[in-house]
Chain A
Amino acid sequence: MLQPVDTALGILNKQLNQPLAAALEVCARCGICAEACHYFVADPQVENAPAYKAEQLRKVYRAEHDLLSRVFPAWTGAEPLSEEKLAQLAEMAFNKCTLCYRCTANCPMGVDTPLLMTTLRAMATASGYGPEILEMLADAAIEKGKDPEMYLDFFRDSIQDMEKELQALTGNPQASIPLQKKGARMLYVALAGAHTILPAAAIFETVGEDWTLSIYEAANYGIFLGDASRAKEIARRIVDEAKQLGVEEIVISECGHAYYAMRWVAPNWFGDEFNFRVRSIVEVIAEYVKEGRLELDPSANPEAITYHDSCNLARKGGVIEEPRRVLEAITTDFRELTPNREEAFCCGGGSGLVAVPEAYEVRLAAGKPKAEQVRRSGARVVVAACENCRLQLGDLSGHYGLDIGVVALADLVVKAMRLPGYQETIEERMTAEVSVVGN
């Protein structure tokens, strides 16, 4: 059996392609990236600068691959990998970087530090240094895909209960949440819990969308682990389901990493098998708004409202103007955070940190720049089209005394739709969820 260090180095060598080699070689260590990182802004220690973090992998790479470094390691700062160093690198890659891509966008060279951190995550996971909880969640999702029948009856029952809520919400006794509907145009992939199903269902019902709900959750913990084989297995469940049902389009719930995984990464895993369009529900709603398919009353959302750009949706996904078009149509006092769009700061909870209990303190500290941005905006409600961001923003609200509500975009859209049963269904649920994440 290979030792952890050999395994980790094996992964580094296996993953060494042109983008990775360029990221390892091109940094001039000018340090201009430092203030682009929310960890550094929150705590200006050199250890929090992206160049410093990336340099830790470069030291290992040089020790393995660079002639001058092998002869004079001290000259280039090369360091061979040891188990102790591997543990440190794993801790850094999982807890001190959210793969937000802000450093890359701010680097004159375009150094892809998130790619280096993802490689480190892959090295750590393969050698047994990945966060256990993320591995467990990823494995559980894969198991679910192997035998969906085991839980399908339970899922059907809960969807039937949700249908009653949908009927009450829309005032339409025929309203339904289709499951495993062959030939549907769209497969909607939600997250665990009704909060990402019910508002979407109300919107789809209102516009008369031909849709069906996926029996799987959109979350892909393999992506967080940097483990391509696990991530692919998790994505495969949804791809197979889409193929079986013959849908044209996969629409991902308001979840940053799930969108990123399915929209930008999965097509590279499945090649020609992957012949579906993939969109975020944010893009779909923006299209409905543009086409005038939803009647919306902006006065339903009179509070000062701001929007937090999820890194996976905006800087790494290009979903930037769509949520703003929707918010313009459903609010009366929308205000931007500064900076925003592709320059937005990460909330500090991305790339799996929200799911790792040990990272709680770290992510609250790293979220300080975002908390200050929100405070400066004067907004009372923050809209975030990503579940992890919403959880983090809720925690930041409690920790920094922001006293804000944190909601999904679809929640506010449904409110602006003035549906007859809104008060009894969505609002109660939203209030409960906000108070939970705010504590």
Chain B
Amino acid sequence: MTLILFTQILAALALVFTVAAFGWRLRLFNALARPVDRSTPKGNPRLGILYAYTLGMAPWAKESTRRHGIAYLRGVAFHLGIFLGLGILILSPWIYMLPVAWRTLLALGAALGALLGLAGFIARFAEYNLKALSTPDDYIAVLVVSLFQASAGLWLVYAPALPLFYIVSAIMLVYAPFSKIRHCIYYAYSRLFFGRFVGSRAVLPHSQQGAR
């Protein structure tokens, strides 16, 4: 068995594990009660939910993101880089079929994600309040995910780094369900509940204000 095949199997098993672990977490979550809101809506809850997933995420939508626009966009780009890295991992057996220019572009995207992750890691150390909020898990989670993106980018421009990419991916995938990385599966729910809240009360989107 070659090193590439061994690490590929390792990464595949880790992927299966993380999907199963997140599936189990989601099952536990969905077993919890979801309160039904019986109050008569003032606005449209669906509009609120749509807003929460779209314009509500725009950098200008909230005072906090207007104030910390660069930090917010850094975070958004970092997270997009994670999805890019996952895409690269899943398509890794076939990615050689892409033209070099495309691979270089993907590598740049992954590298940018890694750099922005690293910036977040440093910010956690450097900024007093952020440091006070952080647990060891916060640092390691950001570091592992940044290394995952960096190794994806490295492999795309340096083929011998493929086993390294698979090993880092496997570590990240196994760690994810136990660490704060798991916030990814709760994000959709949290925005859903927020959107329903502000939508039914005609608070957001702004076009609803003054309804009825």
Chain B, 1-54, CB within 8 A of any chain A CB:
29-30, 32-40, 42-43, 52
Q: Are B191 and A110 in contact (CB under 8 A)?
A: yes
Question: Residues 131-150 of chain B: 1 if any A CB is under 8 Å from the residue's CB, otherwise 0?
Answer: 01111111000000000000
Asked whether, in the complex, the Cβ of A321 is within 8 Å of the Cβ of B209, the reply is yes
With contacts A110-B194, A271-B38, A321-B209 known, is A32 near B64, CB below 8 A?
Answer: yes
Within B173-212, the residues touching A (CB, 8 Å) are 178-180, 182-183, 186-187, 189-191, 193-195, 198, 201-204, 208-211
**Residues of chain B contacted by A107 (CB below 8 angstroms):** 64
Q: How far is the CA of A317 from the CA of B40 in the complex (A)?
A: 12
Is B194 a contact of A104 with CB atoms below 8 Å?
Answer: yes
CB atoms of B64 and A36 under 8 A apart: yes
Which secondary structure dominates where chain B touches chain A?
helix
A107 to B65: give the CA distance in the assembly, Å. Answer: 9
Contact with B along A18-38 (1 / 0, CB 8 A): 110111011111111111100
Minimum CB distance partner of B199 in chain A: A318
B64 contacts A111, C-beta separation under 8 Å: no
Residue of A52, A105, A314, A317 contacting most chain B CB atoms (<10 Å): A105
A20 to chain B: closest residue by CB: B32
For the complex, is A85 an interface residue (Cβ under 8 Å from B)? no
Q: How far is the CB of A263 from chain B (nearest CB, A)?
A: 7
A203 to B180, CA, bound (A): 55
> Restricting to A25-60, which residues have a CB under 8 Å from any CB of B?
25-36, 46, 49, 51-52, 55
A154: Cβ under 8 A from any B Cβ: no
A268 to B34, CA, bound (A): 13
Is the beta-carbon distance between B72 and A22 smaller than 8 angstroms?
Answer: no
CB pair A16–B32 under 8 Å, yes or no, is: yes
Would you call A1 an interface residue if the criterion is a C-beta within 8 Å of the partner chain's C-beta atoms? Answer: no
Question: Contacts A35-B67, A343-B63 hold; do A320 and B203 have CB atoms under 8 A apart?
Answer: yes
Q: Which residues of A contact B40 (CB under 8 A)?
A: 267, 277
Main secondary structure of the interface of A (DSSP, over half): helix
Determine the distance from Cα of A199 to Cα of B201 in the docked complex, in whole angstroms: 27
Chain A residue nearest in CB terms to B68? A32
Q: Are B64 and A35 in contact (CB under 8 A)?
A: yes
Tell me whether B158 is interfacial, beta carbon within 8 Å. no
In whole angstroms, what is the CA distance A52 to B130 when docked?
A: 10
CB distance A268 to B201 under 8 Å? no
Choose the segment among A70-78, A143-151, A219-227, A385-393 that binds chain B (4+ C-beta atoms closer than 8 Å).
Answer: A70-78
A108 within 8 A of B: yes
Q: How far is the CB of B120 from chain A (nearest CB, A)?
A: 8
Set of chain A residues within 8 Å of B105, measured between Cβ atoms: none
Name B129's closest neighbour in chain A (CB-CB). Answer: A46
Contact A108-B75, Cβ < 8 Å, known A49-B129, A315-B203: yes
CA distance A339 to B62 in the complex (A): 11
The smallest beta-carbon distance between B19 and chain A, in angstroms, is: 18
**Minimal Cβ-Cβ distance residue in B for A102:** B63
Q: Residue B128 at the A interface, CB < 8 A?
A: yes
A264 at the interface (CB under 8 A from B): yes
In the bound complex, do residue B39 and residue A267 qualify as a contact, i.e. CB atoms below 8 Å apart? yes
Q: A76-B137, A106-B63 are in contact. List 6 more A-B contacts (CB 8 A).
A: A19-B35, A28-B183, A29-B133, A30-B71, A30-B130, A318-B42
Residues of B within 8 A of A (CB): 29-30, 32-40, 42-43, 52, 57, 62-65, 67-68, 71-72, 75, 127-130, 132-138, 178-180, 182-183, 186-187, 189-191, 193-195, 198, 201-204, 208-211
A-B contact pairs, 14 of them (CB 8 A): A17-B32, A17-B34, A31-B129, A36-B64, A46-B133, A67-B178, A74-B136, A76-B136, A76-B179, A105-B198, A108-B62, A267-B39, A268-B35, A318-B208
